[in-house]
Amino acid sequence: MAHIGYSWSTFDALTQQVVKTINPKHILDIGAGGGKYGALLKDVVPECELTALECDDAAFPQLREVGYHHILPITADKLYERGNDLYDVVILGDVIEHMLHSQGRDLLEFLNYRSRYLIISTPECMPMSRAVFFEGHNSLWRPDSFGWHDYWAHQQCGLMHFYLLRGHDNWAGPGLAEVVHAANTAGIFNTHSNGAQLPVNLSIHDTRYKEPIDEHNVTLFRPL
């Protein structure tokens, strides 16, 4: 199916493990294309409600076939008109690099308040020019792009980056440290673009606000 584009398989096993640990009830897949993440996750969390955001109606039959329960036939910026929609996990797989950096940052901050976790997979140093703006690569997302966020995990594998952001919507369920530990000890591997299998080794970036209680203890503004 030529219209769905290509999505790297580098972090497929890691994504499955992370989602399994979070055990979400609602997932939003932004830029779902041909439904890679629905196919990847439907048996991992079979009770989860899968929603695809995809503006290409040629993809809809495939999305329904692989198991999405809902399709939002809109572009990502239209999510701002759906501010009451909440999700346990939002996935942007090989998507955010197609946006202007400013647009992607605004979208992530918006979704950070409407999800428990955000999963982002994105390449760097991969030029892709297209006549249609959003079909090309237009922004670079290295770790310094996430300095605005206070609690997230990251791993790079070749030219691919994986980010897991702990959202603000709901602090129930497994915390980021638990999700990262489960992934790092699961014996799974990322697939390098050269074919090598490299162990999963997510690292946590923690700048959460800590307020002193006394000289020995602090309280975290958000604990998980």
- In tens, the pLDDT along 179-217 reads 999 999 999 999 998 889 999 999 999 999 988 888 888
Q: How many CB atoms lie within 10 A of CB 200?
A: 21
For residues 147 and 136, give the distance between their C-alpha atoms in angstroms, rounded to a whole number. Answer: 25
Give me the pLDDT at residue 2, please. Answer: 32
Handedness of CA 107, 45, 154, 176 (dihedral sign): positive
- Tell me the pLDDT tens digit for each residue of 5-63: 457 899 999 999 999 999 999 999 999 999 999 999 999 999 999 999 999 999 999 99
Q: Do the Cβ atoms of 157 and 199 come closer than 8 Å?
A: no
Give me the pLDDT at residue 137, please. Answer: 74
pTM of the model: 0.92
How far is the CA of 29 from the CAs of 134, 195, 215, 221, in angstroms? 17, 26, 45, 29
Q: Are strands 189-191 and 151-157 parallel, antiparallel or unpaired?
A: unpaired
For residues 209 and 83, give the distance between their C-alpha atoms in angstroms, rounded to a whole number. Answer: 26
In 3D, which of 131, 133, 153 has the Cα closest to residue 143? 153
Structure tokens at 5: 């584009």
Q: Phi then psi for 108, rounded to 5 degrees?
A: -65, -40
